[in-house]
Structures are given as structure tokens and as C-alpha cells.
Amino acid sequence: MESNIVWHNASVLTEDYRTKNGHHSGVIWLTGLSGSGKSSIANLVNKHLYEKKVNSYLLDGDNVRHGLNADLGFKAEDRKENIRRIGEVAKLFAESGTIVLTAFISPYQEDRNQVRNILEQGDFLEVHVDCPLSECEVRDPKGLYEKARSGEIKGFTGIDSPYEVPESPEIVLRTHEFSEEDCAAQLISLLENKGWI
């Protein structure tokens, strides 16, 4: 890091924002295979929070790659940098008193742990959106699995690139057993039980 960069202390702290907003802030990190339902669940939860007048924002994997991370590919080092950047952005949201939902495949446990570790303890909720590969392939909303199976896409998570199942997530949402609405309700219940909302 450049030695001439000095940290500037803010006059308004995270606790001040939380007091003003009347709710906790932090990062809800939804991880799972492509097609598992991450974005759909995150959108449902975000809409619920908005309707409850909770300050929240959703960072979606595909959307972020259109702008902030448009320069990154899908090699292992690019995926790592993708998650690092998102983690730092999500941290800024949390510090501003916002509950930020992220919907990213984020296949590597090390990268998810890195994001957890840059946040204050208790400000990171890892959510495993669990759906068998076979079901995700049947859904294949973007047609990506078909392209990966035909060799058109290389290094696709779950096909020829690994997905590391979360070691100890705060919650597992099984989208092959429950509807997206039910899964969103389970996550909202967790937020209520933890006193976030």
C-alpha cells in the first residue's frame, strides 16, 4: 500500500447511523451455484426490508460485473479479486448503517472468510442457498450449464470448476425443498431473531 495514504477518521460513526436508522447493519452474503435462487431470494428479502423502511441495498453478481468489476474474467484470480472488491464495497455499506445483501456464486470458502474477517464480529451472515447441481441444470435460467457442458464456457462452477460448500453458514436455504418465498421468509426470520431488524 502507498505509504503516503493516511486513514481519515469520520465524525459520524457506524453506531450513529444505526441509531438514526433504528436497525442493525451488516452484510448478508448469499452463496450458491448458478441457478440456485440467490438473486431471487435476495430480491424478495430486499423488497421486504424496503417495505419495512429498513435501509438496505442489493449487490448482484451479474450487475456488479457490468460496472465495477467489468475488467475481471472468471479465472481463479479474477474470481478472488471480484469477491475482494465486493467485500470492501459491502463493508462500506454496512458502515453507513445499511443492510447489504450480496448474491454471488463466490465458490471459494477462503474468499468468503476474507470478507467475514474485514467486518466487525456479528456483521456478516453467510447464507448457503443450497440446491443440487442436477436441479440447477434443469432450471438453467441463463442457459449457462448447457454451454458449459458443450465446452462453450470453460471454468464454470459446478461443471469444471469447484464450488466449496460453506463450512458453517448462519443459515442454509434449500430451494429444492422450499419455495423462494419460503426461503426468503426463513432468512427474514433469522434477521429478526438476531435483532438486525
**Residue ranges for the chain with pLDDT beneath 50:** none
pLDDT value of residue 45:
98
173, 131 Cβ separation under 8 angstroms: no
Domain membership flag for residue 184: yes
pLDDT of residue 183: 98
Q: How many domains does the structure of the chain reveal?
A: 1
Please report, as a single letter, which amino acid is at residue 38: K
* 4 found inside a domain: no
For residue 173, give the amino acid letter: L
pLDDT of residue 58: 95
Q: Does 106 qualify as catalytic in the annotation? A: yes
Query: What's the pLDDT score for residue 171?
Result: 98
Query: Which is the catalytic residue, given 106, 150, 161, 168?
Result: 106
pTM above 0.75, yes or no: yes
Give the SS3 label for residue 77.
Answer: helix
DSSP H stretches of helix in 22-177: 38-51, 61-64, 76-95, 109-118, 133-139, 144-149
Query: In which domain, by residue range, is 37 found?
Result: 14-193
As annotated, the binding site for ATP includes 32-39
Q: Does residue 32 belong to any structural domain of this protein?
A: yes
Task: Assign residue 125 the CATH number of its domain.
Answer: 3.40.50.300
